[in-house]
Amino acid sequence: MKASAQDVLTAKIYFAAAFPALRIPLEEDAAQAKKFEKVNAVVEFRAADDANPVACYMVFLTADMAEKAAHEKRFKVFQGEYPGYIEMKDGSKYDGLKVVKMYFKSIQSLLGVFKGSSPVEMLGIVSPLLKNIFNPVTLKFLFLMLTLTKTMPSFNPGTDQPWEQYLKVKLSLFLITRALSTANREGWPEIVDWVKKQPDRTYQFIVGPTLDKNGKEIYPEIKSYFRVKQGKTKAGNGERKYPFVLFKFPNPDGCLAVLTGRYEFVEAVSKGAVTIYGAADSYAVSFNDLMTKCQAMLVPPPKPEK
């Protein structure tokens, strides 16, 4: 079976943008961090295709093992098939990691699981899970991966769920900025045409801290950016100096008002859910439209209310 160019692009975006976002719960969710503190393993995803098979693998390491590995990180995503080893600082190749092999019969089957559009499409994960069910890492990874469902429009936590709001916003901004950069690298016309018309510009997101009822900070600011320069793009965390456009949200709830479609973008500005600094409004609006189109490739649209 041959997947469409759009499906191949979407799969590559998931591998390059969504999976790296898993480091957020691994670093900031105490329960997830504890589950993986003693894990040395690889989780490999593959999807067969007649023309464009896709693959990536995630390496999970303990603190001690990460110090010895060439990449020096406890969690890292690599594109391509797992070669059967990881490079070590001393030049050796370590092949003793447990491997969870999540292999799918097609890219369509893989995307059905990621998007979760329907129960039938979600069945694609049953076979890979059964083949790995006796690997102790499998269920730990499955519950970690389910964290990504929090980026879907159907998940809309209220202000009485501050951790869930914080996590959804941080995951969403991490994912969408990297998704746009991956889409540009892979030649998605929508963004390639948009990028090539611009000089060196940074689109910055800053979300204010989460405060408790007494005004005390319980979760810090969230900062993410998307940089355009001579047809190339880069996404990252943190704050860049002199952004071309700054999207500033007072708190995660204000950001969610935009991300979940509670308000249309222009309405969100008028209601104070977001303040735009820098360039003319037209650039902010066009960038928001681009993010919306990219997001639509990755997650199913919310179901209309009856």
- Torsion of the alpha carbons at 283, 289, 293 and 298, rounded to the nearest 10: 90
**Nearest one of 28, 66, 2, 44 to 171, comparing CA atoms:** 28
**Residue 279's pLDDT is what?**
67
Print burial letters for 112-140: b (CB count within 10 Å at least 16), e (below 16): bbbbbeeeebeebbeebeeebeebebbeb
Residue 303: pLDDT band (50, 70, 90) is low
Bridge partner list, 87: 93
For residue 208, give the nearest of 151, 240, 170, 236 by alpha carbon: 170
Q: Can you give the pTM of this predicted structure?
A: 0.90
Stronger pLDDT, 68 or 292, i.e. the higher one? 68
Burial label for 185, CB within 10 Å (0-12, 13-18, 19+), is middle
Measured in degrees and rounded to the nearest 5, phi and psi for residue 211 equal -115, 150
Which amino acid is located at 141 in the chain?
F
106 Cβ neighbours under 8 A, 6+ residues apart? 1, 3, 47, 48, 49
Tens digits of residue pLDDT in 69-104: 999 999 999 999 999 999 999 999 999 999 999 999
For residue 306, name the pLDDT band (cuts at 50, 70, 90): very low
The pLDDT confidence band at residue 67, using thresholds 50, 70 and 90, is very high
Confidence bin at 121 (pLDDT 50/70/90):
low
**Are the CB atoms for 223 and 255 separated by under 8 Å?**
no
The SS3 assignment for 240 reads coil
Report the relative pairing of strands 232-237 and 86-87 from DSSP bridges: unpaired
Q: Which has the higher per-residue pLDDT, 123 or 42?
A: 42
Spacing of C-alpha 299 from chain mean position: 11
Cβ neighbours for 25, distance < 8 A, ≥ 6 positions apart:
32, 144, 147, 167, 171
Q: How far apart are the first and last CA of the chain?
A: 37
